[in-house]
Amino acid sequence: MSISNTPQNTYVYSRLPQRHIRLIRLQPSLDNDTPLRFSFWISSLNEARGEYDAVSYTWGSLDLTHEIFCAESLGEDEYAMAITENLFKVLKRFRHRLDERVLWADALCINQKDNEDKAQQIPMMDHIYRGARHVVAWLGDGGTDVEMVLRTLGRLTEVPKGRAEHEDITYIERALPLFLNLPWFRRMWIIQEAVLNMDMVLVCGSAELSMVKFVSGLDIVRSMEYWSSIGLVPGAIAVVNTIKIWKQYRSEADTTDLKIVNLVNQATWYECGDDRDRIYALYS
């Protein structure tokens, strides 16, 4: 069946078999103003492993202010779906110009209006993030200052210790507090999203940096005397806590601190829209 020119009625989610997930095949566009279009791909967790990128982002306002067009599968009738401002920006940013991109994004890949679907899908999110090729974390539109912080942290990892450019240090001292207070860093779910996949990429505006380099760059900044002036702001505490868990998960050291009771005690600095999700976000 060919795709119709005019989107039809509201899309109706189908029930998924056990241990299956929905992925979206985001269609490419050379023109960034072209409407977003995708088709669903339903796959078992095992078959999908390494075939998609999982998106990490803040939901922001829940108002459904933008439209995206979807099909049950490529070539079938098209339906209009309403999405939030933040998800719209995320998909615009991660859409390729020439090639289809396969993504997992919770707001689309889980039927948010169906408690049964959520009950089936949310407990699998640890497997979803582990099985992704990459986790792409959208920190927001950014702006000059916060984008430059990400780039500067990357540069700090490429020079010998103590040899950083004076301009980079000055820039970090001025703009890092703003950067660390971005809402993404205080999401409860980032503990799971950042820790469970070895290949996370942080994206802020047009700037990108791997999680590995971000941790290394921030470790350099934390060794500076300057850190004592910002190390106790809530955003900084949450970031340092996430890095601590990230390092523990990757080391062969004692992982006692990663037990659920200890993680809950460390979760004070994180935010979560639904308190029930706090346990899901930490349990894996």
Of all residues in the chain, the percent with pLDDT exceeding 70 is: 83
Check residue 100 and give its pLDDT: 97
What is the mean pLDDT of the segment spanning 171-177? 86
> Does residue 143 register a pLDDT over 90?
no
> Does residue 81 register a pLDDT over 80?
yes
Check residue 2 and give its pLDDT: 33
- How far apart CA 255 and CA 168 sit, in angstroms, is 35
5-14, 118-127, 182-191: the lowest-pLDDT one: 5-14
- E-strand ranges in the chain read 20-26, 37-44, 53-56, 64-71, 78-84, 101-104, 134-140, 200-204, 207-210
- How far apart CA 242 and CA 185 sit, in angstroms, is 9
∠ CA(7), CA(141), CA(35), 5° rounding? 15
Q: Tell me the pLDDT band of 147, cut-offs 50, 70 and 90.
A: very high
191-200, 212-221, 248-257, 273-282: the lowest-pLDDT one: 273-282
As a whole number of Å, the CA-based R_g of the chain is 20
Check residue 261 and give its pLDDT: 43
Q: Which residue has the higher pLDDT, 280 or 95?
A: 95
How much is the mean pLDDT over the chain? 85
pLDDT, tens digit, 9 for 90 and up, residues 246-281: 888 777 554 555 554 455 455 555 555 555 555 555
The contacts of residue 163 (CB under 8 Å, 6+ apart) are: none
Q: The tokens of 151 are what?
A: 């780039």
Closest C-alpha among 235, 242, 237 to residue 193: 242
AA identity, residue 241: N
> Pairing relation of β-strands 20-26 and 37-44?
antiparallel
Q: The tokens of 154 are what?
A: 């990357």
For 88-92, the CB contacts below 8 A with 24+ separation are 88/36, 89/138, 89/141, 90/55, 90/57, 90/138, 91/26, 91/36, 92/32, 92/36
pTM: 0.86
Q: Is 69 helix (H, G, I), strand (E, B) or coil?
A: strand
Q: The tokens of 236 are what?
A: 């900084």
> Does residue 16 register a pLDDT over 80?
yes
